[in-house]
Amino acid sequence: MEQTVDRQKDQLALHVFTSMATIQKAGDHRVHFTANQAFTSKAAAANDSRDFILATGESFVQQDHHSKVDYKVVAVRPSSVVLEYNSAFSHLSFGKNLVTKDKGSFEVSYK
């Protein structure tokens, strides 16, 4: 296993920003996300799994058969949200006996 810190920080910050239709402050400690892609959250609206409001400490995830990235809201600021991430990628189906993990945090502006 290979573990790193902040290796994917810039890439994931851009991915979240471009993959969300909206990121809006929804109170002092809450953020409303509307996703364009397959992010999911336990806090998602019953009729739309791409629409969720998260409080500080709550999370959303994006995963497929090779990778998983968990994002947790760690701070709600006046013009942005700070997300902590933990990612894992399995290289097994590509012929390598390797799992890479990365963790870190980044800030995303509201839109």
Q: What angle do CA 84, 10, 35 make, to 5 degrees?
A: 65
| DSSP conformation letters of 7-25 | TTHHHHHHHHHHHEEEEEE
Instruction: Give me the number of domains the chain comprises.
Output: 1
| DSSP conformation letters of 31-68 | EEEEESSSEE-TTEETTEEEEEEEETT-EEEEE-SSEE
What's the pLDDT tens digit per position in 17-37? Answer: 999 999 999 999 999 999 987
Model-level pTM greater than 0.95? no
Terminal C-alpha separation, the chain: 36
pLDDT at 16 over 70: yes
What's the pLDDT tens digit per position in 35-85? Answer: 987 788 877 766 677 889 999 999 999 988 788 999 999 999 999 999 999
Domain holding 101, by residue range, is 2-109
Q: Are strands 44-45 and 67-76 parallel, antiparallel or unpaired?
A: unpaired
